[in-house]
Chains A and B, each alone.
Chain A
Amino acid sequence: MKIIFAFLPEIVLTFLAFLILFLEICGLAKKKVCFTIASVGLILLIPCVWMSQDFLGNYLKGAFLLDNYAIFFKFLFVVLIFMVVLLGADFMEERTNYIAEYYFLLLMSAVGLMFMVSATDLMTLFIAFELSSIPMYVLAAYFKKEKTSTEAGIKYFLLGAFSAGLMVYGISLIYGTFGTLSYKALGSIFLVGNISPAILLAMVAIIVGLGFKIAAAPFHMWAPDVYEGAPTPVVSFISVAPKAAGLAVIARFFITSFAGISYQWIFLLLLISAISMLVGNLTALPQKNFKRMLAYSGISHIGYILLGIAASSQIGLTAVLFYITIYTLTNLGAFGVLIMVSRYTKSDEIKDLAGLSRRSPGLALILLLALLSLAGIPPLGGFLAKFILFFAVFKEANPVFQAMVLFAIINSVISLYYYLKVLRAVYFEKPQSEEPITVPAYSAPALYLSVIGIVVLAMMPSFYSWISQMAKLSIFSL
C-alpha cells in the first residue's frame, strides 16, 4: 500500500495521459476537453506530490528513491508542465488538429522525468531517460507539414539516440567491471579509489549522455535547430524540464557514486562548464532569431549551474536547486511572451518583437523582467541565483574555483548584450502594426507565476531556507 502512495504522482500522471488518449480513441477528445483534463489534473498533482512526502524511502529494491531532493524536482516539474500547458494551449489549437496526442506525449515525458530524478540505479535511470526523451522527439517534429519542425525532430532524435547509446555503453562498462548498477554500491566501491581507464571512459560516456540532455557545450549541437524548428510550446518545455532533470541526475549520481574519485569528474564538469559559458554567450551575440538566441543563452546558463555542481558542497547544491528554479520559471516567462506574440506575428525573429511596448505594455514588462533576470540584474531572481551560486563556488578552497567565478562574471556581462538587443527592439523600435496583442485568460496565470518566480521568490529568504532543506536530506544520507 505504501508503495502506491510513494508512486502517486507518477501513477496519476500516467493515468491522466492515458485518459486523454482513451477519450481521443472514443472520439470524445474535443480540444478544450483535453486542455481541461490536463490542466486540472496537473493542479491535482500538487497535493499528490505533497502527500508523497510522508512516504520517503527506498523502493523497488533500491532502484527508486523518494527523498526531499526528488520531491523538490517533482514539484518543479508539475509547476513547469502546468505552465507549458497553459501557455501553449491556444498556440497548439490554432496550428494543429492533433491535440490529444500532444498532451499525451507531454505528460508521458513528464513521467519519465519524474522517474529520472528518483532513480538510484543506472538501469532505472536509463529507462526513465528514454521514456522522457522519445515523446520529446515526436513533439519536436509535431508540425509534420513544416520542414523546420521535421528537421528539428530528426536532428533531435539522431543526436539523442547516439548519445543515449554512448551512455548505455558507459553503463555497461561499469556493470562489466563491478557487477552492480546501484548508485549506493558504486559509491562504496569508489570510496577507496578504484579508478581505472574503463571507469574513466564510462564516466565520460555518461557525462556525454547527460550533457546532451541538458544541452551543455560541446554536446549542444541539436539545441539551436530544435529550438528554432520545433513548436514554441514544445521548445519552452524542452528548454526547462529535461534540463532540470538532467542536472538533478548529474548532481545525484556524481556526488553519491563518484564521491571517492571526485577529482576527475569535477575537472570534467569545470571544463564543460567553461566551454558552455563561452560558446553559449559568444554564439548568442549575433543571433537574429529569438528562439535560437534563447537556445544559446540556455547553454550558457547550464554552464553556470554546472559550476555549482562541481563545487559539490551543501551550499553549492542549494545554489544549484535555487538557480534551476529561478532559471526555469524565468525562461518560461520569456517563452510565454514569445508564444503570445508569435500567435499574432507568425514569426520568432527578434525584429518582429519591435514596438511590443506599444502593442502590449504588460507583455513587454514581463519580457523585460525575464530577460534582465536571465542577465542577472538585481533585484530580480536571476541575480540572487547567480549571487548564491558564485558565493558557493567562491567558497571552495581551490583557486581554480575563484578563477571560474571571475570567468562566469565576465560571461554574464557579455550576456547582457544580447538580452538588451531584444529589449532594444521591444522598447526602442516602432511597431510594425498597431494591433494590440491580447493574452488568453487561462494563459495569464502562467505568466504571473513566472513573474512571481522572478520578482517575489528571490527576495524571500524563507524560500531559500526551504530549498536548502530540500537539498540537504537527500544525497548525503542515502
Chain B
Amino acid sequence: MELPLLSILWLIPLVGMVLIMLTREKDTGIIRTLAAGVGVLVFGLSLIIYWLYKPDVSGYQMMEQISFWPGLGISYHLGVDGISVLMVVLSGILAFTSIMVSFSIKERLKEYFALLMVVLAGVIGIFVSLDLFFFILFYELASIPMYFLIGIWGSDKMGEGREVKRKDSALKLIIYLQMAGGLILLGFLGIYFLSGINSFDLVALSQAHIPVNFQLLIFPVLFIAFGIEAGLFPFHTWLPDGHSAAPTAVSMLLAGVLLKMGGYGIIRIVIGLLPDGAMFWMKFFCVIAVINVLYGAYCAIKQTDIKYLIAYSSISHMGIVFLGIGLFSSLGLQGAIFQMFSHGVITALLFAMAGYIYDKTHTKIISQMGGLAVKAPYLAVLFALGGFATLGLPGFSGFIAELLVFLGTYKLYPALAVLAILGLVITATYILRAVQKIFYGPFNTKYEDIKDLHGVEKVGPYTLAIVAWMAGFFPILLTGVMGNSVTEFLVKFGGGRP
C-alpha cells in the first residue's frame, strides 16, 4: 500500500501543534526544536512529493479518498496535479523558512508556535484538497489564527504618515478574509445545487455541466471572493495593513502562500468549474489586473514604511498573476503559476529581511535608516538580492514569470502589455530607491553597534535566495512539472488561445 503522503504532509504541523501544547511554557528550547523539526519534515516531504510526481501522467496523482458525509456528497479527497504540486513545494519552503525566522520571537513562544502550526496545516490542506467542503475548512484553518498572530506578536505602524495599530489591522484582515470565505461558501452552494450531481467533489464537478446563465452570475462573485484573498483591486486594503502589522514569519506566510490560495482558487475552482463565465468576464478582469499592477506600484512609491512598501509591491505583482490567468493561453497560465511561485519565494525573502532590519534597528521607517551596508553586509546583500529578483532581473525567477505573462499578453492585448510593463519600470524605481536609502548613503551613527545576520538567522534567507535563483536559472524545474497539467486544463477552452 502506498503511504498517504498528502495527509501526512498536512497532519505533521497539527501533530507538532499538539506536541508543542503539551510542553511547558518555559521549555523554550524544546518548543523551538519541535517547531524546527516540523519545518524540516514538511519541507523534506514536500520535496519528496515533488520528486515522486510524474509530470507526463495526466490527471491528479497521489489521490486519497475517504467518504466523510455521503448524504451531502462530501468526501475527504486529496490529490495533486502539476499546478498544485508546485504550490505544495512553495508551502513547504515557506513553512521551513518562516519557522526559521521565528526564532527571534521571545514572548509567549508556546502559543505562537502552536498557532503558526495551525496556519501551516491549513495552507497545505488547501493546495491538496479536492473537495470544496474541505477546501473551506482548510481555508478557515489558515486564516483565523492570523488574527491572533498579528494581534499579539505584530507591530504597530508609528512615525510618519497615519498610525496603524496592529489590533485594528488584524481585525481588518480577518473581516475581509471572512467576507471572502462567506462569498466562497455561497458560491459553492450554488455550484453544488445547480450542477445537479449532489457532490462537493472537485473532480466530479469539473465534469458536470453547470448552466451558462448561472455561470455568468456566480463567476464575478467567486472571482472577487478569491480576489479579496489575492489582493485584487479595489478589495486589497486589508493587505498592506495586515502584512506590515504582522510578525515577520506571518508576513512571509501571508504574502507567500495566503495570497497564492486566492490565485490557486481562481485557477482551480473559479475558472476550472465555470469556463463559460470565465470566457465572458475575463476581459473585464484583465483590465482590473493591469490596474492592480499600476496602482500597487504607484502606492509603493509613496510608502515610507518598508513593510508597507513590500506589501504594495505584492499587490502590484499579484496583478501580473491575474493578468496571466485572464489570458487563457498556455503562456499566460504558465506565467501566472510561475509568478505565484516566484513571488511567494521572493516576497518572503524581502519580508524576512525587513523583519530582521526591524529587529536590529527597531524602526520600519526607511528615512530613519541609512548606510547599514557598512555594518551589516549580509543584511544588505540579501535584501538587495530580493529586490533585484522582484524587479525582474534576469537570472531570478521573477524574470521568467514576467516574461511569460507579458509575451502572452502582448500577443492578445498589446496595449495592456505596454501598460503593465510600465508597472515594472515603477517597481525598479521604488525598489532601488529603498535599497539605496536603507543600505547606502551616509551612515546613520545611531546604528553604530548594529549586529549583522548570524548563525541560524541566515538559514531562512539563504534558502529563499537559492530557490529564487534556481527557479530563475532552471525554469524547467517548474514549467516541466506544470506543462502537461496546464495543457489539460486549457482543453476546456478549446486548447487555449495562442
Residues of A within 8 A of B (CB): 357, 372, 377-379, 383, 387-388, 390-391, 394-395, 402, 405-406, 409-410, 412-413, 416-417, 420, 423-424, 427-428, 461, 464-465, 468
Contact = CB atoms under 8 A, between A and B. Distances in A.
B235 interface: no
A428 B133 CA distance: 31
Given A391-B72, A420-B174, A461-B68, A377 B151 contact: no
A296 B175 CA distance: 20
A387 B134 CA distance: 12
B140 A409 contact: no
Contacts of B192: 391
Contacts of B140: 377-379, 383
Interface string B184-205: 0110011011000000000000
B167 interface: yes
A379 B167 contact: no
A428 B151 contact: yes
With most chain A CB atoms within 10 A of its CB, the pick from B133, B178, B193 is: B178
B229 to A, nearest CB: 14
B284 interface: no
Interface stretch (B83-91, B141-149, B383-391, B458-466): B141-149
A417 B151 contact: no
Nearest to B178: A413
Contact of B174 (A416, A427, A464): A416
A402 B217 CA distance: 13
Interface string B54-93: 0000000000000011111000000000000000000000
Given A428-B152, A465-B71, A413 B141 contact: no
A468 B69 CA distance: 13
A413 B175 contact: yes
A379 B147 CA distance: 16
Interface string B137-175: 100110010011001100000000000000100010011
B167 A428 contact: yes
Contacts of B193: 394-395
A420 B173 CA distance: 12
Interface residues of B, number: 30
B225 to A, nearest CB: 11
Contacts of A405: 186, 189
A395 B189 CA distance: 9
A451 to B, nearest CB: 14
Contacts of A391: 72, 189, 192
Given A383-B140, A416-B178, A461-B68, A424 B189 contact: no
Contact of A409 (B151, B167, B182): B182
A464 B68 CA distance: 12
Contacts of B167: 424, 428
A390 B144 contact: no
B183 interface: yes
Contacts of A464: 69, 71
Contacts of A379: 137, 140-141
Contacts of A417: 171, 175
Contacts of A423: 147-148
Contact of B152 (A372, A410, A427, A465): A427
Contacts of B171: 417, 420, 424
With most chain B CB atoms within 10 A of its CB, the pick from A388, A394, A420, A423 is: A420
Interface string B390-430: 00000000000000000000000000000000000000000
Interface string B414-455: 000000000000000000000000000000000000000000
Given A395-B193, A424-B167, A413 B136 contact: no
B71 A390 contact: no
Contacts of B133: 387
Contact of A410 (B71, B141, B151, B182): B182
Contact of A427 (B148, B175, B185, B190): B148
Contacts of B189: 390-391, 394, 405
Contacts of B151: 424, 427-428
B208 interface: no
A416 B185 contact: no
15 contacts: A377-B140, A387-B133, A391-B192, A395-B193, A405-B186, A420-B174, A423-B147, A424-B167, A424-B171, A427-B148, A428-B167, A461-B68, A461-B69, A461-B70, A464-B69
